[in-house]
Structure formats: C-alpha cells, structure tokens
Chain A
Amino acid sequence: MLIETRNIFKIYDEGLESEVRALDDVSLTIDRGEFVAIIGQSGSGKSTLMNMLGCLDIPTRGDYILHGTNVKDLSDNELSRIRNKEIGFIFQQYNLIASLTVQENVELPLIYQGIDAEKRSRMAMEALEKMSIAEKAKSYPKQLSGGQQQRVAIARAISAKPSIIMADEPTGALDSKTGHDILGFLRQFHEEGTTVILITHDNGIAASADRRVRISDGKIVEDTGPVIKYPKAAEKKAAEAEANSHEEAAKAAQEAMKAAAKMEEELL
C-alpha cells in the first residue's frame, strides 16, 4: 500500500472550548496508480487531510504510513526529502516564487536535491515543454496569466518526477476552459502511472477522478472505493522510483566508501 492513514486526528486547541477537530478519526488507504478526488466543502478538513498526506503537517493522533514507513518516525530532513522527491504539490494560488524566473522556479526542487546545473536545466525544460510553456522559461511569474502560472506550477511539481501528485483546488482560480486543460494534464500523469490526489469542493471536477472520497466535518462520509485503471503504468512508475532510489542508495554507498577510504588514508 502506498498511503495508509490509521485513525488520524488533527485537533486544534484540544480540551478548550474553541476545540476544532479538523480531522476526526480518518482511516484511508490509497494504492499506487490511483486517481482519487477528496471532496468537501470549505472547512470540511479536506485541505488538512492533504497537508497530512503531503507530510506538511503531523497528525495530533493516529499513524500515517507512507511507503510502509510511519511518518512519525521520520526526522524533519527525511520529511523534506519525501516532499522533495516523492510528492509534487499543486496549489490553488500557484505559489510560485515571484523573485525567480519560470525556469528557476521549476528548478527549485532539483536544486534542493543537489542536482548539477546542467542536468537541472535539462529536466526543468523537459517539464516546461510537457506543460507547453517552455517559451516562457525566462519570464517572471507576474508576467504570466493565471493559467500559464498554474502550468508552470505543475511543471515544478513534476520536474523531480515524483510518484505522487497532490493538487489542492488546482482549478479554483481559473476559468472553466483553462481549468479543463489542467485536469487534462492530471489525467495524463495518471495514465503515465502517477498516483494523483485531487482536492476539490466541486463535484463536477471530482468526476474526472476514478475514486471519490467525500469528507465532512473532519470525517469520511463517502468512499467509492479503489480503482486502478492503468496497473501496468503504475507498476512501471513504481519500478522507476525503486530504481531511482537504488541508484541513490548506490551513490550514497559509494560516497560513504570514498569517505571511509579518505579517513583511512588520513589515519595512516
């Protein structure tokens, strides 16, 4: 199982009169290759759930198991690494950094991975081309329309080739035609094997997902159940991710060996 929450709670001001249960005993599993919409009105707790699933927030109680690892046991650096490599975020307000160019924005996750400039630039341009916005690479976000900015934000989300994409009301600030295009991109990633989690208040938008989870007052009130339409692509994506992490592990081992050899040399 890719994602599994076990009875998670997110409670603000617990025990006080102002207590709010943003998540109230939520248990949910999502498998590799799913396209899930989490639907709810504003204040229902859907964004809190996404923050939990995206490792941006930690539950007050309960366990969140991602890739077989309990998130509780991970350090801040390990959580950063997961957000960096495993998850791509798409936000309603695009959340691009205004002082950086389009290309630099898209390169940002790769910079945090420590990828060298040349490879970084290649990967960023690849993502921008996929979003058909490569010609704006040198522009600044505020020179772009809303739809263009969201395409850049999506390019940033996919530049590190994550296995999960989380989109929080990605069409909320866009007109319906542009919103439709954005949903098209999400479906495309899904077909390529990426697990897509779409947060929305809009039933119509939620209809483009294979599975719908409705949330209200912090509780799951409806779940249409798991559907995996493209199991082969999902498997391929998982294999890629594994190979990638193997490669990383091999690289880390190599570096450790080098460091050990150096230490030995110094000792001698």
Chain B
Amino acid sequence: MNVLSTFKMAWRSIKGKRGRSVLTVLSIFIGIAAVMTIVSVMEGMKEYTRQQYAAMGSNKIDVSIYSWSYDENGNPTNQKDYFPILEEYCKSLGDMVVGVTPNARANGTVVYGTVNSANMESKYDEETYELISSPPQMYYGSSQYSKVNEHEIARGRDISYLDIEKYNQVAVLGSKAAEIFFGNVDPLGKNLQINGNNFQVIGIYKQKSTEGTKGYQQNQMDNVIILPYSARRLLGGEQMTAFQIKASSSENIKEVISRVGPYMKNFVPEGSGMVDVYSQSSWQEYENQYLTTIGLVLGGIAAISLIVGGIGIMNIMLVSVTERTKEIGIRRAIGARRSSIVAQFLIEAGMLCGMGGLVGIVVGTIGSLILGKLMYQLTIWPSIPVALGTLLFSIALGLLFGSYPASKASKLQPVEALRAE
C-alpha cells in the first residue's frame, strides 16, 4: 500500500466535504490556540517576574535585625553596630559570598551650585501612579556596595575600605544622579554639599537601566548617591539594621541563609528582637510555582476543549464511515486490506487534526503576541517546543479519536458494505 497515494486520497475526501472539514478543523483549532496562548502568556508572566527580580539584583540575601524592646529613652535595647560582625562573618564564608553592604538610606539635602535636592519633586505616571523621577536616593554603602548591587564604575574609582576607615567625605554617583546635578560638567573631583558638608565625587557608575526599564526602576538603579557608611557619624540617622549579602550563585543562597541567620542570632539578646534572613529569589521561586499552578489549571481547562474537539472528530469520522460504507465495500472488493482501510481513515483524521493544529498555532501565536503586548508590554513568541508539542498532540488526538471509526470501518464485511447505498 502506497503511503503517498493514501495521503492524496485522504486529502481528496477532506476536500470533497469542504464545509464539514472546515467545521471540524475549527473545533480542534480553538482548543489548540487556547492551550498555546495560555502556555505562552504563562511563560511571558514568568519572564516578566524574572526581569523584575533581576532588576532587584540576583542572588541577593536580605539580613534585617528587628527590635521590640526599648529603653526609657525610647531607643531599642539591642542596638549596636552589626555590620562589622556580619562583614567579618561573610569573609569566613569565602567563595560563597561575593559581597556584603549595609542597606540603609542616608537622609539629607544635596546641593551643587544652584541644583538643590530639596527643590526637586517626585513625578508620577498619570495613569499608573508609578514613580517616574524623584530626588536622588542616597545610600550608605560598604566598599562592596557596587558588587552587591551590580554597579560598575564608569569613571573614577569606587568607595574603598580606607574611605570607610578614614571617614573620608566622598561619594559615588549613579549616571542619572550625575546628570541631574552636573549636567554637562564633569562631576569627578567636584564637591557636593550634603547637609552643608563637602563630599567629593570620586566615581560615576555606568548606566544600569536599559531601554526597556521603566521609570521607577530606572530611578532605583541610576538616580543614586552612595556614601561610605562611616559618613553616618557625620550625617546622623538611625542605627543600621538592614544589610544585603550577594551570594556567588543561586545554589549558595540557601547555604548562606542557613549559616548567617543562626550566627547573627548570637548577637541579638534573647527577647529583645529577632534576625530575619531571606532571599528575594526564594520569592521568585514561590511566584514561579504559583504561576505554574495557574498555568496547569488554565491549560487543563483548555485541554478539555481539545478533548471535546477530539470527540467531535470521532463523531465526524463515524458519520463519514457510515456515509462511505459503500466506498469501503468497493475498496475491499478490489483488494484493499483491512489495514489499508484503517490507514485511510486514520490518515484522514490525523490530517484534519493536523490542519486544526496548524491553524491553532497561527492563531495561538497571534494571541500570544497580542496578549503579551497588552498585559506586559512584552513580545511573547510561543516557544518552538510548545508549538511542536501542540501540533504533535493534535495529530495524536486525531489518530486516537480516529482509531475507533477506522477500526469500525475495517471490520465491515465486504459484501455487507457493498450492499449499502
């Protein structure tokens, strides 16, 4: 039995019943398109959260020390300078830790010439109320601040350990902050007035945000001024209780968390407060799991529509067998084997579903692109495995639901079949 001619004959009978074939294809393609779109949008959502977390910095671990016992002056009883303890301990963890820095905001007005941060207003997006621009954010950092927060020095130099030791009044600027204060002037070596104190600009970070980064994140990334944390003695502010550690890999995060937490606990007196160590990437993991679950549920619902479509195919094929009983009889009379009849109907069902699959992939791709743009401003191309998988699945569906009618057709006695009208 010639395979090519079987395909040709199957195509003939599909074409012969054009209206019906179109409806059958329709019943399959809706399910396929739905599955594809859902899977793609879920992938897009994951990608979106990945980008969000990536923007925050990967492999970062937050260490926070909370207090709930206060002395008569209202100061927390467990306040001490935790950073040197943490820094020392992180050194002992060797390769597992890339860097550690305080995560503390410095407050103050920043002035250069006529530019004064006190005169700057925060701007919000009119529709989303998202922060677009604000006065520069000022942070206290260790010499490893840029490592932890993934900044690179574009010009000048980074904060050094000596700057911290010697209480040097220096500052490193993000690209946006540099632009705000200095415009076209070269900021290196210039002095910023912070609460009336001179801080010399020693370095500028490379721009971190990319074209796709939105206002808020761009502000977070590049509109920053980093001061050595020892400058706190001069500028004041509360004790530093929040820190960030960057682990060398995502595998090391858990290990670092499990060591840092118990160690730091030793320095917080029982009952005075607590140590919280957690990683944003573990949130990402949760969120991904959550998205996968949603995806499975939605995909399951779409899969039901596929099964309904498949039953439709089976129905059509059964009708087709009944209608073509005579044809089956003729074919059997002139020498078709049972297997040839099975092949004929299976190929027909497989082709119908395969066509449905192809149309579904096209529609699903368009759906993914449109939904991706509308929901996340992302261009979501369905992945090739997903597309191929759905196509194969739809053909398998055709074969599965075509097999019963096909076997029914092949079991007809030639003489009975010939007698049909």
Interface of A toward B, CB cutoff 8 Å: 51, 54, 56-57, 76-77, 80-81, 83-85, 89, 91, 95-100, 104, 107-109, 111-117, 156, 160
Contact of B12 among A57, A99, A116 (CB under 8 A): A99
Contact with A along B103-129 (1 / 0, CB 8 A): 000000000000000000000000000
Contact of B13 among A51, A99, A113 (CB under 8 A): A99
Given contacts A100-B12, A111-B5, A112-B1, A95 and B336 within 8 Å (CB-CB):
no
CB-defined A-B contacts under 8 Å, sample of 17: A56-B414, A57-B415, A80-B332, A80-B337, A83-B333, A83-B414, A84-B334, A84-B335, A84-B336, A96-B330, A99-B13, A107-B5, A109-B334, A112-B334, A115-B2, A117-B5, A156-B334
Q: How far is the CB of A56 from chain B (nearest CB, A)?
A: 4
A109–B337 alpha-carbon span in the complex (Å): 11
Contacts of B13 in A (CB 8 A): 99
- Among B16, B327, B334, B415, the most chain A Cβ lie within 10 Å of the Cβ of B334
A76–B332 alpha-carbon span in the complex (Å): 10
Which chain B residue has the least Cβ–Cβ distance from A101?
B12
Contact B326 A95 (CB under 8 A): yes
Top 9 nearest A-B pairs (CB, nearest first) are A84-B335, A57-B415, A99-B16, A112-B335, A56-B415, A80-B337, A56-B414, A109-B334, A95-B330
Indicate whether B418 reaches chain A with its CB closer than 8 angstroms.
yes
Which chain B residue has the least Cβ–Cβ distance from A109?
B334
Contact B5 A83 (CB under 8 A): no
Contacts of A100 in B (CB 8 A): 9, 12
Indicate whether B338 reaches chain A with its CB closer than 8 angstroms.
yes
Contacts of B332 in A (CB 8 A): 56, 80, 83
Contacts of A113 in B (CB 8 A): 335
Contacts of A57 in B (CB 8 A): 413-415
Contacts of B326 in A (CB 8 A): 95
Q: Which of B333-390 contact A (CB under 8 A)?
A: 333-340
Contact of A95 among B339, B413, B415, B418 (CB under 8 A): B418
Size range of the chain B interface in the assembly: 20 to 34
Contacts of B147 in A (CB 8 A): none
Q: How far is the CB of A245 from chain B (nearest CB, A)?
A: 15
Contact A97 B338 (CB under 8 A): no
Given contacts A57-B413, A99-B12, A111-B1, A80 and B418 within 8 Å (CB-CB):
no
A185–B1 alpha-carbon span in the complex (Å): 30
Q: How many A-B residue pairs have CB under 8 A?
A: 75
A51–B415 alpha-carbon span in the complex (Å): 7
Indicate whether B254 reaches chain A with its CB closer than 8 angstroms.
no
A113–B333 alpha-carbon span in the complex (Å): 13
Which chain B residue has the least Cβ–Cβ distance from A76?
B338
Contacts of B336 in A (CB 8 A): 80, 84, 112
Contact B334 A114 (CB under 8 A): no
Indicate whether B331 reaches chain A with its CB closer than 8 angstroms.
yes
Contact B16 A109 (CB under 8 A): no
Interface of B toward A, CB cutoff 8 Å: 1-2, 4-5, 9, 12-13, 16, 326-327, 330-340, 413-415, 418
A113–B337 alpha-carbon span in the complex (Å): 10
Given contacts A95-B418, A112-B1, A83 and B330 within 8 Å (CB-CB):
no
Contact A108 B331 (CB under 8 A): yes
Contacts of A160 in B (CB 8 A): 335
Given A80-B338, A114-B2, A160-B335, 14 more pairs with CB closer than 8 A: A51-B415, A56-B415, A80-B337, A81-B337, A83-B334, A84-B335, A99-B9, A108-B334, A112-B334, A112-B335, A113-B335, A114-B1, A115-B2, A117-B4
A104–B330 alpha-carbon span in the complex (Å): 14
Which chain A residue has the least Cβ–Cβ distance from B334?
A109
Contact B335 A85 (CB under 8 A): yes
Contacts of A95 in B (CB 8 A): 326, 330, 333, 418
Contact B415 A109 (CB under 8 A): no
Contacts of A99 in B (CB 8 A): 9, 12-13, 16
A132–B91 alpha-carbon span in the complex (Å): 99
A77–B414 alpha-carbon span in the complex (Å): 13
Q: How far is the CB of B6 from chain A (nearest CB, A)?
A: 8
Q: How far is the CB of B319 from chain A (nearest CB, A)?
A: 16
Q: How far is the CB of A42 from chain B (nearest CB, A)?
A: 14
A128–B326 alpha-carbon span in the complex (Å): 24
Contact A89 B338 (CB under 8 A): no
Which chain A residue has the least Cβ–Cβ distance from B15?
A99
A95–B326 alpha-carbon span in the complex (Å): 8
Contact A111 B2 (CB under 8 A): yes
Contact A112 B9 (CB under 8 A): no
A111–B334 alpha-carbon span in the complex (Å): 10
Contact of A112 among B12, B327, B337 (CB under 8 A): B337
- Among A81, A108, A112, the most chain B Cβ lie within 10 Å of the Cβ of A112
Q: How far is the CB of B335 from chain A (nearest CB, A)?
A: 2
- Among A80, A95, A107, A156, the most chain B Cβ lie within 10 Å of the Cβ of A80
Contacts of B9 in A (CB 8 A): 99-100, 104
Contacts of A112 in B (CB 8 A): 1, 331, 334-337, 340
A96–B418 alpha-carbon span in the complex (Å): 12
Contact A76 B337 (CB under 8 A): yes
Contact B327 A97 (CB under 8 A): yes
Contacts of A91 in B (CB 8 A): 418
Contacts of B330 in A (CB 8 A): 95-97
Q: How far is the CB of B323 from chain A (nearest CB, A)?
A: 11
Contact A56 B418 (CB under 8 A): yes
A71–B9 alpha-carbon span in the complex (Å): 31
Contacts of B327 in A (CB 8 A): 97
Q: How far is the CB of B27 from chain A (nearest CB, A)?
A: 22
- Among A54, A111, A115, the most chain B Cβ lie within 10 Å of the Cβ of A111
Contacts of B16 in A (CB 8 A): 98-99
Contacts of A84 in B (CB 8 A): 334-336
A57–B337 alpha-carbon span in the complex (Å): 15
Q: How far is the CB of A104 from chain B (nearest CB, A)?
A: 8
Q: How far is the CB of B344 from chain A (nearest CB, A)?
A: 11
Contacts of A117 in B (CB 8 A): 2, 4-5
Which chain B residue has the least Cβ–Cβ distance from A88?
B334
Contacts of B331 in A (CB 8 A): 97, 108, 112
A113–B336 alpha-carbon span in the complex (Å): 9
